[in-house]
Amino acid sequence: MRQIVRLFLVCLVVFSCNKNQFNPESAYDSSTLNHANTVLLETVMEDALSPPVASRAYVYPHIAHYITLSYFYKDSLVDLTGKLNDLENLDEPATEDAHPELSALYAFTNVAQKVVFSEHYIESLRDSLTKIAINKKMPQEMIDASKSVAKLITDQLSKWIASDNYIETRTFDQWTSTKLPHNWRETPPDYVSGLEPHWDKIRPLLLDTVGGFTPKPIPEYSTEPTSDFYKMVYEVYDQVNNSTQHYEDTAWFWDCNPIGTVHKGHMMMVIQKFTPPGHWLNIVNQVSKKENASYLKTTQAYTFTSISMFDALIDAWHLKYKLDLVRPVTFIQENIDPEWVPIIQTPPFPEYTSGHSATSASAAGVLTAIFGENYSFRDETQLRYGLKSRTFNSFKEAAKQVDSSRFYGGIHYMQGVKEGSRQGYYVAENVLKKLMN
């Protein structure tokens, strides 16, 4: 009897010790990274960053997270140093006492605070990560070591980030429209100056040169109804005039205007939404949950997709301000119907090529390589705005719908979206060639 009692007590002690012992594999999983990404998306939306600036706010935290994690999983994650432009010779951290995922997540928050305005949201995220560690019984020494690893990496990355020419472009001249009929001019309802006219001066991450993509030539400007240019514009006019609920719902589903305005008399309201790259990062979130993807695969999806979209927007913005093409609303109101308005609000920058199409194709190309050619998924991003979820049979099908949505919405010519899509896949191929081959 005494032996049985003694055995019971030993088992109880062992069980109690194991219960209180920290299990490093159970501390963080891909759901934590998804939450961190969601906090970043919400912060960028709160700050109302434009699509190009938002792409920068998304990509650098994910790069910091990825690079930090790669020092712990060298056989599973490709080394980005030496591949990303101007990023070389980082001092390697001492990782033996640190926790891989916590170190990477701390690096994510460190960099995120440097690229957003509403830093308190990121600070709260960092506190929640620490709380998880404490609740999981992670030793304080490991938490401190993880912070040290993150600091070493982010201190070095901060210098590289600061050299991307973003700060310098904040001081460049605003864009002044030429007022020539074939060029872009400020569009209703807000008549805002051209957005980020110098974005092509930002250092790309993997593109060797900006402007390497050659689009199909724009038809010669003409107001003659028989001309190719007039026909290209009239196609938009006719589409909007004969729109159906299906077309309008599609336009609104992919609207992704971070600073849309609604005017009622003397009142103006601002509606904030995810940017185009933000919408696609939310798709990564949903797909990783559906797939129950590993932490490493989720990391790869976020990082490679955000890199591709960042470069696509730089390249698209280069063409926009180089070709300086008039928007449909301007040509139509001046030459066809002065009362005509598009379904969704025209963004304040030149038309050619479509930035949303380039962004979406660049994301679709990368995600197809990671999750598969015919990967079916449901996108619930717009439920918060009262729009139904949509199911797609592939990422490329979703990107193709983006192209149609800009045409349905009356803000792009069909040629502009088709060439934007080609541009996005051109960028994606460059990313895949350098990071996955």
Mean pLDDT, all residues of the chain: 93
**CB of 405 closer than 8 Å to CB of 254:** yes
**Token pair in block for residue 330:** 């301007």
Task: Give the 3-state secondary structure percentages of the chain, helix then strand then coil, rounded to 5.
Answer: 60, 5, 35
20 pLDDT tier (thresholds 50, 70, 90): low
Give the fold, CATH level 3, of 19-164: Vanadium-containing Chloroperoxidase; domain 1 (1.20.144)
What number is the average pLDDT over the span 197-216? 97
**CB of 250 closer than 8 Å to CB of 400:** no
Does pTM surpass 0.75?
yes
| 6 CB-near residues (< 8 Å, 6+ apart) | none
Tell me the three state secondary structure of residue 391. strand
Give the rounded percent of residues in the chain with a pLDDT score beyond 90.
89
117-124 CB contacts, 8 Å cutoff, 24+ apart: 117/47, 118/43, 118/46, 118/47, 121/39, 121/42, 121/43, 121/46, 122/39, 122/40, 122/43, 124/39
264 pLDDT tier (thresholds 50, 70, 90): low
Instruction: Give per-residue pLDDT as tens, 138-175.
Output: 999 999 999 999 999 999 999 999 999 999 999 999 99
Q: Which of 5-14, 186-195, 333-342, 362-371 has the lowest mean pLDDT?
A: 5-14
pLDDT at 270: 62
pLDDT at 10: 38
**CB of 429 closer than 8 Å to CB of 366:** no
**Token pair in block for residue 288:** 């990783």
What number is the average pLDDT over the span 18-22? 63
**Token pair in block for residue 216:** 């199909």
Does residue 103 surpass a pLDDT of 80? yes
**Closest C-alpha among 189, 214, 342 to residue 267:** 189
Instruction: Give per-residue pLDDT as tens, 50-88.
Output: 999 999 999 999 999 999 999 999 999 999 999 999 999
What number is the average pLDDT over the span 178-191? 95
**CB of 389 closer than 8 Å to CB of 319:** no
Does residue 16 surpass a pLDDT of 50? no
What number is the average pLDDT over the span 170-197? 95
Tell me the three state secondary structure of residue 392. strand
Query: Looking at this protein, which amino acid is placed at residue 306?
Result: S
**Token pair in block for residue 6:** 């003694």
pLDDT at 1: 44
Q: Rounded to the nearest 5 degrees, what angle is found at the Cα of 413, between the Cα atoms of 410 and 417?
A: 105
Same CATH fold assignment for domains 19-164 and 174-201+204-435: no
pLDDT at 46: 95
DSSP string, 141-155: HHHHHHHHHHHHHHH
Per-domain boundaries in the chain: 19-164, 174-201+204-435
Instruction: Give per-residue pLDDT as tens, 325-379.
Output: 999 999 999 999 999 999 999 999 999 999 999 999 999 999 999 999 999 999 9
DSSP string, 64-78: HHHHHHHTT-TTTS-
**Closest C-alpha among 427, 300, 434, 423 to residue 367:** 300
3-class SS string, 236-280: HHHHHHCCCHHHHHHHHHCCCCCCEEEEECCEEEEECCCCHHHHH
Instruction: Give per-residue pLDDT as tens, 271-322.
Output: 788 999 999 999 999 999 999 999 999 999 999 999 999 999 999 999 999 9
**Token pair in block for residue 316:** 């698209």
pLDDT at 258: 83
**CB of 196 closer than 8 Å to CB of 53:** yes
**Token pair in block for residue 234:** 């009239």
Question: What's the full length of the chain, in residues?
Answer: 437
**CB of 258 closer than 8 Å to CB of 266:** no
CATH architecture of 174-201+204-435: Orthogonal Bundle (1.10)
Tell me the three state secondary structure of residue 183. strand
